[in-house]
Structure 1
Amino acid sequence: MASSEDKPAVKEDENAGSWKDSIFNPRTGEFCGRTAKSWGLILLFYLVFYAFLAGMFVLTIWVMLMTLDDYVPRYRDRVPDPGLVIRPMELDMMFNRSQPLQYADYIKTLETFLQQYNETEQELNKVCTAGDYFDQEGEVGVEKLTCQFKRSVLSRCSGLSDTTYGYAEGKPCILLKMNRIIGLKPEGDPYVNCTAKKHSGIHMQYFPSGGRFDKMYFPYYGNKLHKRYVQPLVAVQLQLGKEDFNTELTIECRIEGSNLRNNDERDKFLGRVTFRVTVKE
C-alpha cells in the first residue's frame, strides 16, 4: 500500500505531463493545439491573404503613378499665386551700424545667397528679350534655357561695390524674391512697393530701377526641366537718416501692378511680406 508521501509526486508528474501536452501531444500529433494539416491550412490562408493585400497595394501605387507627370504636379490649385520672401531670412532685424559683428551674419547670408547670381554662373545662361515671356516649346523632357540675372543689376545692393550691403552706413539692403510656381505668367507689369508703417517719411531705393520683376523670367518649368533657373530679385535699400536710428521700423512690401494676389488675410506672405528693422548707432 502506497504511503501518503507518494501522492504529491504523482500529482506533480500529472501537471508536468499536462503542460507538455499543451505544447506537443504525442498521442494526437498536435503542436500548440493544432495538427500539421491544420497548421498548413491556416498558413496557406494567411499567405494567400497577405499576397492579395500586397498585390492590391502595388496595383494602387501603379495606377497612381500612371496619373502623375514627371515634370508638372497634377494638382496646383492650392498655390495659384506666389509668396514674397526676403533675404536675409530675418523678419526682425536689429543691429548697431558701428559694430560690424552685429550685422556680420546678415552680410554672410546675402553673400552666400548671391553666389548663384555671379557673373561666371550667369554667363552660362541665355540673354533674353526684356518685357516678353520666355515661352519654350520642344520635346518632352528637354532641359529648358534660363535667362541671365546678374547680381550687378542690384547696383549698390549687389555686394560688389559695397561689401557691407549698406549695413555699415545704417542703410541696409533687403533682397526680395517670389516663390517659384510652375507655369506662372503674371499679367501686367509686376513690381515691388515697400512702405514703412507709421513712418511715412522714409525714402527707399529699388534695384533694378522701379523694383520690377521682368516677364522674361516667366514661366518657370519646374526643377527637373529648369535646373539652372534662378528667380529674379528686387533689392530695396532703406535710406535711413539719423532721425530714423534707434527706432523700430515696420516695413511692408507688396507685389503691385499685376493680377497676383497681395491682400489675402489668411496668408500674410501671399504676394507680400512684413518685417521689422531697428538700426542703432
Structure 2
Amino acid sequence: MASNEDKPAVKEEENVGSWKDAIFNPRTGEFCGRTAKSWGLILLFYLVFYAFLAGMFVLTIWVMLMTLDDYVPRYRDRVPHPGLVIRPKELDLLFNKSQPLQFNRHINTLESFLQDYNDTEQARNEVCVSGSYFDQDGEVGEQRKVCQFKRSSLSLCSGLSDSTFGYAEGKPCILLKMNRIIGLKPRGEPYVNCTAKREKPITIQYFPNEGRFDKMYFPYYGNKLHERYVQPLVAVKLLLRKEDYNTELTIECRIEGSNLRNNDDRDKFLGRVTFRVTVKE
C-alpha cells in the first residue's frame, strides 16, 4: 500500500507530463495542439491569402500609375490661383541699419536667391515678346524654352549697384514672386500693390516698372518640361524716412489687375502676403 508521501510526487509527475504534452504529444504527434498536416494547411492558407493581398495592392498601384501623366498633374483644381511669397523668407524683418551683422543674413539670402537670375545665366534663355503669353508646342518630353528675366531689371534692388540691397541705408528691398502653377495664364495685367497698414503712407518703389508680372512668363509647363524656368520677380523698395525708424511697420502686398484671387480669408497667402519691418538706427 503506497504511503501518502508518494502521492504528491506522482501528481507532480502527471503535471509535468501534461505540460510537455501540451507542447508536443509523442502519442498523437501533435505540436501545440495541431498535427503537422493541420499546421501545413494553416500555413498554406495564410501564404495564399497574403499573396492575394499583395497582388491586389500591386495591381491597384499599377492601375493608378497608368492614369498619371509624367509631366502634368492629373488633378489641379484645388490650386487654381497662386500664392505670393517674399524673399528674404521672413515675415518679421528686424535690424539696425548701422549694424551689418544684423542684416547680413538677409543680404546673403537675396544674393543666393538671385544667382539663377544673373544676366550671364539668363543670356542662355529666349528674348520674348512683352505683353504676350509664351505658348509653346512640342513633342512629348521635349524641353520648353524660357524667357529671360535678368536681375539687372530689378535696378536698385538687383544687388548690382548696391550690394546691401538698401539695408545699410535703412531702405530695404523685398523680392516677391508668385508660386508656380502649371498652365496658369492670368488675365489682365497682374501687378503688385503694397500698402502700409497705418494712417500715414510710406513711399514705395517697384522694379520692374509698375511692379508688373509680364505675360510672357506664362504659362509654366512643369518642372520636367521647364527645367530652366525661373519665376518673374517684383522688387519692392521701402523708402523709409527717419520718422519711420524704430517703429514696426506692417506691409501688405497684393496681386492686382487680374483674375487672380487675393481676398480669400481662408488663405492669407493666396494672391497676397503680409509682413512686418522694423528698422532701427
Same fold (TM over 0.5): yes
Q: CA deviation at 1:182?
A: 0.4
Q: Report the Cα distance in structure 2 between the residues aligned to 1:27 and 1:201, rounded to whole angstroms.
A: 98
Asked whether the equivalents of residues 96 and 280 of structure 1 are also in contact (C-alpha less than 8 Å), the reply is yes
Asked whether the equivalents of residues 97 and 168 of structure 1 are also in contact (C-alpha less than 8 Å), the reply is yes
Aligned to 1:155: 155
Q: Report the Cα distance in structure 2 between the residues aligned to 1:15 and 1:124, rounded to whole angstroms.
A: 89
Cα deviation per residue 1:197-248 (whole Å; 9 max; x = unaligned)? 1144311000001101111110011111111111000001001111111111
Aligned to 1:43: 43
Three-state SS of the structure 2 residue aligned to 1:168 is coil
Cα deviation per residue 1:93-112 (whole Å; 9 max; x = unaligned)? 11111111111111111111
Cα deviation per residue 1:68-117 (whole Å; 9 max; x = unaligned)? 11111111111100000000111111111111111111111111111111
Asked whether the equivalents of residues 195 and 201 of structure 2 are also in contact (C-alpha less than 8 Å), the reply is no
Q: CA deviation at 1:256?
A: 0.7
Q: Give the TM-score, by structure 2 length.
A: 0.97
Letter in 1 for 2:197: K
Q: Report the Cα distance in structure 1 between the residues aligned to 2:199 and 2:125, rounded to whole angstroms.
A: 41
Asked whether the equivalents of residues 143 and 226 of structure 1 are also in contact (C-alpha less than 8 Å), the reply is yes
Aligned to 1:186: 186
Q: Report the Cα distance in structure 1 between the residues aligned to 2:256 and 2:230, rounded to whole angstroms.
A: 21
Structure 1 spans left out of the alignment, 5+ residues: none
When structure 1 is superposed on structure 2, of 60-69 and 117-126 the one drifting more is: 117-126
Three-state SS of the structure 1 residue aligned to 2:176 is strand
Letter in 2 for 1:57: F
Q: Report the Cα distance in structure 2 between the residues aligned to 1:275 and 1:201, rounded to whole angstroms.
A: 16
Asked whether the equivalents of residues 138 and 144 of structure 2 are also in contact (C-alpha less than 8 Å), the reply is no
Q: CA deviation at 1:277?
A: 0.7
Three-state SS of the structure 2 residue aligned to 1:107 is helix
Aligned to 1:92: 92
Asked whether the equivalents of residues 91 and 276 of structure 1 are also in contact (C-alpha less than 8 Å), the reply is yes
Aligned to 1:232: 232
Letter in 2 for 1:87: R
Aligned to 1:67: 67
Asked whether the equivalents of residues 128 and 148 of structure 2 are also in contact (C-alpha less than 8 Å), the reply is yes
Q: Report the Cα distance in structure 1 between the residues aligned to 2:9 and 2:79, rounded to whole angstroms.
A: 81
Cα deviation per residue 1:21-64 (whole Å; 9 max; x = unaligned)? 11111111111100111111111111111111111111111111
Q: Report the Cα distance in structure 2 between the residues aligned to 1:200 and 1:23, rounded to whole angstroms.
A: 88
Letter in 1 for 2:87: R
Cα deviation per residue 1:183-203 (whole Å; 9 max; x = unaligned)? 000011111011111144311
Letter in 1 for 2:61: I
Q: Report the Cα distance in structure 1 between the residues aligned to 2:44 and 2:203, rounded to whole angstroms.
A: 80
Aligned to 1:9: 9
Q: CA deviation at 1:276?
A: 0.8
Aligned to 1:176: 176
- Number of equivalenced pairs: 281
Q: Report the Cα distance in structure 1 between the residues aligned to 2:21 and 2:75, rounded to whole angstroms.
A: 62
Structure 2 spans left out of the alignment, 5+ residues: none
CA RMSD of aligned residues (A): 1.1
Q: CA deviation at 1:271?
A: 0.4
Aligned to 1:146: 146
Letter in 1 for 2:93: M
Aligned to 1:20: 20
Three-state SS of the structure 2 residue aligned to 1:169 is coil
Three-state SS of the structure 1 residue aligned to 2:168 is helix
Asked whether the equivalents of residues 199 and 249 of structure 1 are also in contact (C-alpha less than 8 Å), the reply is no
Three-state SS of the structure 2 residue aligned to 1:255 is strand
Q: Give the TM-score, by structure 1 length.
A: 0.97
